[in-house]
């Protein structure tokens, strides 16, 4: 049975044209997503509110796995097809790939971080760890 993938897009609602492009890139997949979930952040001032909205969006996922992308990201047309096939073939819980920058914005992905927009994650892993933590801090054992 093929792995199904949902797309989760958090947004502040400040870039409607870019959000439209992000949604279009998700809709135009060679293997369509099971659903596209857009969650609007309440504002920039409280990172915990943003994390709660991200968790809220992922909690709505009904597919086996999800890709989390920003409202300024775009998926290549065969992203879901290739990534879900790799997940199915290897049995991996997380599959990540390279990504391309576009536009005039400078990326913020550091050397010890990977871009979530190029990663699919099984929802069961997100559930197992209890979602994204509200307070950032050092990893525990």
The predicted model scores a pTM of 0.81
Give residue 96's pLDDT. Answer: 86
Residue 113, pLDDT > 70, answer no
Sign of the torsion formed by the C-alpha atoms of 37, 116, 44 and 14: negative
Higher confidence at residue 97 or residue 135?
97
pLDDT at 12 over 90: no
According to DSSP, the β-strands at 5-11 and 36-40 are: parallel
Q: How confident is the model at residue 67 (pLDDT cuts 50, 70, 90)?
A: very high
pLDDT beyond 50 at 141 = no
- Reported as half-sphere exposure (CB side, CA atoms, 13 A), residue 80 has a value of 28
pLDDT at 21 over 60: yes
């Amino acid at each position: 049975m093929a792995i199904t993938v949902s797309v989760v897009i958090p947004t502040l609602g400040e870039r409607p044209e870019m959000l439209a492009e992000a949604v279009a890139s998700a809709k135009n997949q060679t293997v369509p997503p099971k659903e596209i979930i857009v969650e609007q952040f309440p504002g920039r001032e409280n990172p915990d509110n943003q994390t709660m909205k991200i968790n809220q969006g992922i909690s709505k996922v009904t597919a086996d796995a999800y890709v989390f992308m920003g409202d300024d990201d775009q998926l290549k047309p065969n992203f879901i097809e290739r990534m879900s096939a790799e997940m199915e073939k290897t049995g991996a819980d997380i599959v990540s790939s390279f990504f391309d920058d576009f536009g005039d914005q400078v990326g913020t992905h550091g050397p010890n971080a990977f871009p979530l927009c190029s990663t699919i994650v099984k929802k069961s892993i997100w559930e197992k760890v209890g979602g994204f933590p509200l307070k950032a801090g050092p990893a525990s054992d």
